[in-house]
Structure 1
Amino acid sequence: MVVIRLARGGSKARPFYHIVVADKRCRRDGRFIERIGFYNPIARGNDVPLNIAQDRLAYWLGVGAQPSDTVQRLIKQAPKVAPTAEAAAA
């Protein structure tokens, strides 16, 4: 089964997580299919705490990927921002 889950990065006491699409049998920080975003729980100031590529998320959910409980919570928190004209032109 394909799952959408967090893969831990960062250093000791400074966690940083990539939101990845991976086979359920692979290790947490091991091989993955695609990286679709990140989560920075200790973001300060102008740092972006959460970024998810909504188009890729919709694709993977559409083909049957199952999000983990934590990723499901983060999906609900993610801002549903419509693409701007600048982003569409790039």
Structure 2
Amino acid sequence: MSLKIRLARGGSKKRPYYQIVVADARSPRDGRFLDKVGSWNPMLGKDNEKRVELDAEAIKAWVAKGAQPTDRVLRFMAEAGLAERATRSNPDKAKPGKKAQERAAERAQKAADAAAAASEAAAE
């Protein structure tokens, strides 16, 4: 049985509230869980200490038993100092695609040609 430490959504429509639970990976998101180990209220401000509440001892015990945290829960654990999270970096993500680079080069060439023509006209 593979265990996950994950979020289970609660709250009303457009007012989310999440419980951090330990559940079997095959069970539904809001379904049966084994233990509640914390909560997350995204409606509170980021500086509010009640925004994320974690039971550190329970989380350590479940991780020792083989429970794997999801990415979001791992972020919370890293902020609390319970786990180490490797930073993800994709420097190529912000670069434009091949077609966009070709269009930019074309525009730069046209601008250079126009500037050269303007300087020739000014010289005469």
Is TM > 0.5 for Structure 1 vs Structure 2? yes
Per-residue displacement from partner, 1:42-80 (whole Å, max 9, x unpaired)? 115967101000000000011110000111011112377
- Larger strand proportion, structure 1 or 2? 1
Structure 2 length normalisation: TM-score?
0.60
Runs (4 or more) in structure 1 with deviation over 3 Å come to 44-47
Q: Residue 4 of structure 2 aligns with which residue? A: 3
- Larger helix proportion, structure 1 or 2? 2
- Matches for 1:1-90 after TM superposition, within 5 Å: 1-44=2-45, 48-78=50-80
Aligned mates of 1:46, 1:65 — CA distance in 2: 28
Structure 1 length normalisation: TM-score?
0.81
Greater relative contact order: 1 or 2 (C-alpha under 8 angstroms, separation 6 or more)? 1
Give 2:17's aligned amino acid.
F
Unpaired runs of 5+ residues, structure 2, are 83-124
What is the number of residues matched between the two proteins? Answer: 80
